[in-house]
Amino acid sequence: MKIVTVELRPCTQRQADAGWTFARATVPELQGWVIALTDEDGITGLGYAHAIPAITTHGAGAEAALHFFRPMLLGRDPADLAGIMDHVEAVLAGNRSVKAAIDMALHDLLARRVGLPLCMLMGGRFRDRIPQSRILSIKAPAQMAEAAAALAAKGYHSLKLKLSGDAVLDARRLAEVRAAVGSEVTLTVDPNQSYSAKGFLAAWKGMEPHGVALVEQPVPAADWKGLALITQTLPVPIEADESVETIADVLRVVEGRVADVVNLKITKLGGVRNFVTAARILEAGQIAARVGAAFGPALLQAAAAHAAATLRHLPFACELSEHDHILDDPFTPLPIEDGIIAVPQGPGCGVTYA
């Protein structure tokens, strides 16, 4: 059954907080693209190309890459998913978020054709409900504490603080958030590469008293030795995020025990197939996996929820609920109840255009 139409649709979304900030940039809006693949029977599969300049690519870059790939998809049988994606990988370097969108749409189309949830094409699910951690963007300590209290009141049992690389201020952020939410809420931190290895080890002295459960990517992505040093030195689990963008990076973490946890994202790794491969490598190497935030609409979060459901071990809350504060979502809702997302049970990713 051949693909007869390849439609590209812009998906620009405003943040409810136009000042949403992490260590590398302020992100007032998201410029993504949706790719819709329709076969001869009129069945459509959807994928989302993540396009944040500080993380993946600019919206215009994603659009150009999608237009480049469009004629290569027309007339192809989606059942030849492996062959299509091998071709996609061969003809254009990089552009992992765009390749992820194509891979996602092909999987969604095939799952809808056979009437199965997406996770069944990924090897089956181990869970139906995915606990969520919400992210606190960088602000003054009192503002972060106020936001944390509001999220805890909504039922979130895990929160992640974005940090700035200022050891004194970051410790104050943690202290005030902890005071606002009490001891029952799990707190993790994400400096987004803003510390040196020794700088973070020194800063940890001010953070440790506030009960941090996980530290995500404290050092620059290329500083593998620094990441390993922190992992070997601190008693808290250390997570690699920006350091791990390819399957080869995943293998490097396992071989060198560089981190305790790896942050997996369909958009970052280049698709569903690569996510599954990465997850199996981590499982074999006894390194934990977690599905982190990739800001975007309910479509992207639903696909990520299916991916999270396939992980045998999921010791930490995931970050798939950030669509709750992003406006202009064109897709059917993906509800969050008491800090938990239920994996959609319908065919494919389980959401479609509203």
| pLDDT tens digit sequence for 230-273 | 999 999 999 999 999 999 999 999 999 999 999 999 999 999 99
Q: Which two tokens stand for residue 194?
A: 């803003």
What pLDDT, on a 0 to 100 scale, did the predictor assign at position 55? 86
The beta strand positions in 80-172, using DSSP E, are 129-131, 134-136, 158-162
Q: CA angle, 258 as apex, 160 and 249 as ends, to 5°?
A: 90
Q: What distance in Å separates the CA atoms of residue 307 and residue 155, rounded to the nearest whole number?
A: 23
> What parts of the chain have a pLDDT lower than 70?
none
261 and 290 in contact (C-beta within 8 Å)?
A: yes
| Residue 291 DSSP SS3 | strand
pLDDT value at residue 54: 87
Asked whether 52 and 27 are in contact (CB, 8 A), the reply is: yes
Residue 121 contacts residue 78 (beta carbons within 8 Å)? no
Q: Which whole-number Å values give the CA distances from 306 to 31, 43, 102, 152, 280, in the listed order?
A: 23, 20, 17, 25, 15
227: phi then psi, degrees, rounded to nearest 5: -65, -45
**pLDDT for the residue 237:** 98
Query: Residue type for 214, please?
Result: L
Q: Measure the CA–CA gap between 97 and 127, rounded to whole angstroms.
A: 26
Q: Give the E-state strand segments of the chain in sequence order.
A: 3-14, 21-22, 25-26, 29-39, 44-49, 129-131, 134-136, 158-162, 186-190, 212-216, 238-240, 261-264, 288-291, 340-342
Q: What are phi and psi of 19, to 5 degrees?
A: -100, 20
* DSSP H helices in 166-271: 167-181, 197-207, 224-233, 247-256, 266-269
Check: CB of residue 45 under 8 Å from CB of residue 105. yes
Q: What is the pLDDT of residue 56?
A: 86
CA distance 126 to 117: 13
- Tokens (6 digits) for 192: 């987004």
**pLDDT the model gives residue 302:** 98
Cross-strand partners of 130: 341
**CA 131 and chain centroid, separation:** 14
Which domains are present in the chain? Answer: 3-115 (3.30.390.10), 121-342 (3.20.20.120)
Question: Tell me, what's the pLDDT at 85?
Answer: 97
Structure token digits, residue 312: 């045998």
Cβ contacts of residue 299 below 8 Å, gap of 6+? 34, 46, 47, 48, 331, 349, 351
- DSSP, collapsed to helix, strand or coil, labels residue 332 as coil
Residue 190, beta-bridge partner list: 162
Residues 144 and 177: beta-carbon distance below 8 Å = yes
